[in-house]
Amino acid sequence: WDNALWEVVLNQVVNQLPTKRTHGKHRSHCAKEILPAFVTNLLTLCPLSPGDVFWDCGSGIGNAVLQVAVQSKCSAWGVELQEANHEIACQTWDALRERMDFDMWEPGDYGEAHFHQGDMTQIHERFIESLGCD
């Protein structure tokens, strides 16, 4: 997908979410969003493919994780401390998958996005499992 198409589809999906993807006035644990062009450049410099694992620690509302999962077909994981951001990321992934299924995408046409809410220092077991290590 090119960046323009990604933004159009993502905006169509998120406009239907019950929780709006906006940040409040207090940004104590919020960073700015990563733009699709940055993720595309990242995937050009560091190509990922099915079987690879991508981790985003501090994933916010999940934009980078979602784009990586869809564009690279790998397993993309996001870890977010803030519960509200985590919920939005999960809702967005569910809605995006519905949209892709409606558009006749096959499950192998995109990767999987996984989101974990909590402190990234507390997830070492999931990280090791995602890499296929014992």
Work out the mean pLDDT of the chain and round it to a whole number. 82
pLDDT at 6: 75
Output the CA torsion sign for 33, 39, 45, 51.
Answer: positive
What residues does 113 pair with on adjacent strands? 76
Q: What is the pLDDT of residues 13-61, one digit of tens each?
A: 777 777 665 544 444 445 567 788 899 999 999 999 999 999 999 999 8
**SS3 state at 89:** helix
Q: What is the pLDDT of residues 58-72, one digit of tens each?
A: 999 899 999 999 999
**SS3 state at 131:** coil
Q: What is the pTM of this model?
A: 0.79
pLDDT at 101: 83
Mean per-residue pLDDT, 122-130: 69
**CB distance 42 to 72 below 8 Å:** no
Q: What is the pLDDT of residues 90-99, one digit of tens each?
A: 999 998 888 8
pLDDT at 25: 45
